[in-house]
Chain A
Amino acid sequence: MFTRILTTALIAGAGAGLCAAILQLFFLQPVLLHAELYESGTLVHFGGPAADASPPPFSLDLMRDGLSILFSMLIYSGYALILVAMMSLAEEQGALIDARRGLLWGIAGFCAVQLAPAFSLAPEVPGAASADVTARQIWWFATVIAAAFALWLIAFGRSWLLWAGAVVLLLAPHLVGAPTPDSFAGPVPTELGALFASRALGLGLVAWVLTGFFAGALWASDPEASA
Chain B
Amino acid sequence: MNTQTLAVSKPASPRLAMAFAALLGLGIVVLAGHVQASAVHDAAHDTRHATGFPCH
- A78 in contact with B25 (CB, 8 Å): yes
- B46 in contact with A85 (CB, 8 Å): no
Number of interface residues of A (CB under 8 A): 51
Q: Cα distance A6–B21 when bound, in Å?
A: 7
Known: A75-B33, A81-B24. A88 touches B56 (CB 8 A): no
Q: Cα distance A79–B28 when bound, in Å?
A: 8
- CB proximity to B under 8 Å, residues A141-164: none
Q: Which residues of B contact A82 (CB under 8 A)?
A: 21-22, 25-26, 29
Task: Tell me the smallest distance from the CB of B9 to a CB of chain A, in Å.
Answer: 14
Contact with A along B17-56 (1 / 0, CB 8 A): 1111110111111001110100000011011111111111
- A133 in contact with B44 (CB, 8 Å): no
Q: Cα distance A214–B47 when bound, in Å?
A: 21
A positions within 8 Å CB-CB of B: 1-2, 5-6, 9, 20-21, 24, 28-29, 32, 64-65, 67-68, 71-72, 74-75, 77-86, 88-89, 92, 114, 117-118, 121-126, 130, 133, 136-137, 140, 196, 200-201, 203-204
B positions within 8 Å CB-CB of A: 11-12, 14-15, 17-22, 24-29, 32-34, 36, 43-44, 46-56
29 residue pairs of the A-B complex, CB under 8 angstroms, read A1-B17, A5-B17, A9-B21, A20-B50, A24-B46, A24-B50, A29-B46, A68-B50, A71-B32, A71-B44, A71-B48, A75-B32, A75-B47, A82-B25, A82-B29, A84-B21, A85-B25, A114-B51, A121-B54, A123-B51, A126-B49, A133-B54, A133-B56, A137-B53, A140-B53, A140-B54, A196-B49, A200-B52, A204-B51
